[in-house]
Chains A and B, each alone.
Chain A
Amino acid sequence: MRKKNQLVKLYDDFTLNFNTGTIAWLLHRVTGVLLLVYFLMHAFVIGSAVHGHVNFDTALAKVQTPFFHILEIGLIGVIFFHLINGVRLLIIDLTGLSKAHKVLFWIFMAALVVFMAYTARMILTNVLSEAGGSLK
């Protein structure tokens, strides 16, 4: 029964009193877990440095293909959401601006969109120039 109740709680957390904060809360949690999973893979790749430069270069070459560079856009998006929403939480927790939390959320999401457009353009430009092409 306990397990079922917890699943109901997960659903209820999201649907009861649904508002802007609910979306922010869920996305912060999901991006946090994704970042932990990414970090474990990152530690595995970078940790190969302890076995010397040959192992490190082999491991790094595998994750520096155009495919992985394009995935980096998603990675930076996940990091930036968690970061900017975290800053919003710090502002809410540590200053008197908690009443502005919804406005802050949408201002920060607009900043995220602008930042991600810039990031995507830069990474795609790098990937294309390395492949001998150009965005223009």
Chain B
Amino acid sequence: MSAHVKARGEFLWFFQRVTALLLVYFLGMHIVILHFIRKGTITFASVAEKFAANPVFYKVFYFIFIPALLFHAFNGAWSVFVDYNPPEKARKITGAVFWVIGISLTVLGIIAVNSLLGGVK
């Protein structure tokens, strides 16, 4: 095992696999629902209506899906970056920036899902 893989930690390596497995189900379902069984144009009302039919399911679904996807995407991008052997300082800064963007986008995603869930009340 090369040094940067060790420094990156086994947790990140393992969690990349765990989120990969989660995404097979969540991203698969997301595509089937929004691309395959789509009827007509997607609007705020059509999504809100779909969510209203199963609010708990969609809430739990996206609250797991969004953070899992963001972790997988930014951890993947970070490991691609680290693979080109940047200086230690650049790794740390990029890692920190990726965490900030990832967490911010998770919050944005959860607020967006909540407003779509709230749109039916």
Give me the interface of A with B, judged by CB distance under 8 Å.
Answer: 6, 9-10, 29, 32-33, 35-36, 39, 43, 46-47, 49-50, 52-53, 56-57, 60-61, 64, 72, 76, 79, 83, 86-87, 89-90, 93-94, 119, 122-123, 126, 130
Residue of B nearest to A7 (CB): B84
A39 CA to B108 CA, complexed, in Å: 13
The prevalent SS among residues of B at the interface is helix
> What 8 additional pairs, Cβ within 8 angstroms, besides A32-B76, A53-B43, A53-B119?
A32-B77, A35-B73, A36-B74, A36-B77, A47-B109, A53-B45, A89-B20, A90-B17
Task: Kindly identify which residue among A9, A50, A90 contacts B112, using a CB–CB cutoff of 8 Å.
Answer: A50
B13 nearest in chain A by CB position: A93
Distance, CA A119 to CA B31, complexed state (A): 11
Instruction: Check A47–B73 contact: CB distance below 8 A.
Output: no
